[in-house]
A = this chain, B = another copy of it.
Amino acid sequence: MTVEMSVEVGGLRLRGPVVAASGTFGYGTEVPLLERRALGAMVSKGIFLRPREGTPPPRIVETPSGMLNAIGLQGPGVEALIRDYAPQWAGWDFPVLVNINGETAAEYGELAARLDGVPGIAGLEINISCPNVEQGGLYFGNDPRAAAAVTEEVRKRTDLPVWVKLTPMVTDIGVIARACEAAGADALCAINTFVGMSIDLNTQQPRLSFRTGGLSGPAIRPLAVHLAHQAARAVNIPVVGIGGIFRADDALEFLIAGCAAVQVGTATFANPRAIAEVNDGIAAFLASKGLPSLSDLHRYLPRD
């Protein structure tokens, strides 16, 4: 039985529901082992307008069933991205979204304008887990108004599909989700990493040079499933589930919880074939249940 795996997510038709998550797949040029046929789409490493050096080492630390990272959004800046990577992407058979980052809503808008219409760039993912310098460093994603402002600014400056990637450390993710939907997002991605800290007993200082880092991996999966479910219940646009997906069963939890697609991040570090295995496992599950297509999967979305 062949299963129809394609899915429409926020203005993009993906051949399958498994997307490579930002920051865990570089610019798509590094991982040679991956079976690319399984990629629904790819989100590039987060980019700023200008080049960024990133944080000093140590940048990562392993934790129980997870890892903390503080890369500091190292990257070449948008011009180099357009020059060096977009032309390669233009030839690929899956869409590439660029993960955009800024310190002010205006910076996000400028990025959107610069990337609009560039061949090879199929869409934008707004990373709102960035400190808002105009609001004293509070994350954009923590405040529905700031999140909406960024989304609106980007929406105005581009015709590309706009996905907004939500931050998990908020009191009510539904409020932020609705604010972004109202501001013009085509899809939401839930969730980014949780802020965590690990202390080195020898130095009695944080292990990461940046002190805190973002927690990813299976440790956060139950939290991510809950938050993606809450977001999916709150809005009418598609939600892409992210957080600790290592195997097809994990992805299916998000899909059943109401997500249209999923992103796989940390898993790729442990298993460079993870995306292919997740994709194929979802197809096998659907086939075993006699479901002809992904869209026939039961979504668990009670609106009580």
**Residue in contact with A197 in the complex, picked from B201, B204, B257, CB distance below 8 Å:** B257
In the complex, the count of this chain's copies comes to 2
Q: Is the CB of B170 within 8 A of A198?
A: no
A233 to chain B, nearest CB (A): 12
**Residue in contact with A196 in the complex, picked from B206, B212, B217, B222, CB distance below 8 Å:** B222
Contact with B along A162-205 (1 / 0, CB 8 A): 00000001111000000000000000000000111111010011
Q: Is the CB of B65 within 8 A of A201?
A: no
Q: Is the CB of B223 within 8 A of A196?
A: yes
Q: Which of A169, A215, A223, A298 has the most CB of B within 10 A?
A: A223
Q: Is the CB of B226 within 8 A of A212?
A: yes
Q: Which of A47-70 contact B (CB under 8 A)?
A: 63-66, 68
Q: Is the CB of B64 within 8 A of A244?
A: yes
Chain B residues near A219 (CB-CB < 8 A): 64-66, 218-220
A285 at the interface (CB under 8 A from B): yes
Q: Is the CB of A218 within 8 A of B64?
A: yes
In the docked arrangement, what's the CA distance between A212 and B201, Å? 35
In the docked arrangement, what's the CA distance between A249 and B198, Å? 11
Chain B residues near A206 (CB-CB < 8 A): 300
Report the interface size for chain A: residues with CB under 8 A from the other chain. 43
A128 to chain B, nearest CB (A): 13
Contact with B along A206-220 (1 / 0, CB 8 A): 100000110101111
Q: Which of A69-128 contact B (CB under 8 A)?
A: none
In the docked arrangement, what's the CA distance between A244 and B225, Å? 20
Q: Is the CB of A196 within 8 A of B64?
A: no
Given the known interface contacts A64-B244, A65-B64, A204-B300, the answer about A222 and B197 at a Cβ–Cβ threshold of 8 Å is: yes
**Residue in contact with A249 in the complex, picked from B194, B201, B226, B252, CB distance below 8 Å:** B201
In the docked arrangement, what's the CA distance between A217 and B285, Å? 30
Q: Is the CB of B199 within 8 A of A300?
A: yes
A45 at the interface (CB under 8 A from B): no
Chain B residues near A68 (CB-CB < 8 A): 222
Q: What are 6 pairs between A and B in contact, CB < 8 Å?
A: A65-B65, A169-B170, A171-B171, A197-B222, A199-B256, A215-B223
4 more contacts with CB within 8 A, not counting A198-B222, A201-B252, A215-B222, are: A64-B219, A197-B225, A197-B229, A199-B252
